[in-house]
Amino acid sequence: MELNLIERLIVMNPLRSFLQRVFEIPMLKRMSEERIYNLCLEIGAGRGTGAIAILNTFRPERIIAIDIDPRNIERAKRLLKGELKERIEFRTGDAMALDFPDQSFDAVFSTGVIHHLEDWKKGIREVSRVLKPSGDFFFEEPLRPFLESLPVRILTRHPEGGMFSLEEFKKVLEEAGLYIKKIKTLNQIAVAGVARKEHPSVNPLVSP
């Protein structure tokens, strides 16, 4: 779903870009193993700075970043200069119906996007579908108790189909064939981590 005015102001501002660059993406990098990701997908391109942060931190060969709002994609494209044009591609796209073949990506990133989907479970299944075997899903998402708090409900608009508890999130990841390698939680506010597409006998679910 598209963001309301307040959410757009939160997401599409320099502070959000700063936090992605110096906190969120480096945190996910510290939770990763030393792996080479040739092709990555970012769900929710926003103003485009997340894809650049992923490129600078994880050093993949190429990133495709999608967003459901064409206005965001047009803004993001204006950031691409020099080498960035060859390594980052911005496209309009729906995270619940990814327009990519099965097993296309070495890694998929979502920083605060899955909870905006009308059906977050469908989004997780799509992530698993487009990941290659042993591919990694990097995530950072707010949890249901935070989204249902009074200030958040007053200021923002989130679909009921995008809310989940920590246990619900872990369960749906596992059902989609994504098994947690590393996870961090902040009480019942948010969860971040990395899950790998592989058989549970190889990588059992990790508890926080």
pLDDT tens profile 69-113: 999 999 999 989 888 999 999 999 999 999 999 999 999 999 989
Domain 5-197: CATH superfamily, name plus number: Vaccinia Virus protein VP39 (3.40.50.150)
Buried b (16+ CB within 10 A) or exposed e, 7-37: bbeebbeeebbeebbeebbebbeebbeeeeb
**Contact at 8 Å (CB) between 10 and 151?**
no
pLDDT reading at 40 higher than 80 = yes
pLDDT digits (tens, 9 = 90+) for 105-153: 999 999 989 988 999 999 999 999 999 999 999 999 999 887 777 776 6
Alpha-carbon gap, residue 64 to 85, rounded angstroms: 11
Alpha-carbon gap, residue 105 to 162, rounded angstroms: 24
pLDDT reading at 192 higher than 60 = yes
Which residue stretches of the chain are H helix? 5-11, 14-19, 25-30, 49-58, 70-77, 84-87, 120-130, 144-147, 150-155, 166-175
Alpha-carbon gap, residue 111 to 20, rounded angstroms: 8
What is the average pLDDT across 179-201? 88
pTM for the model stands at 0.86
pLDDT digits (tens, 9 = 90+) for 10-20: 566 667 777 88
Token couple for 120? 């977050």
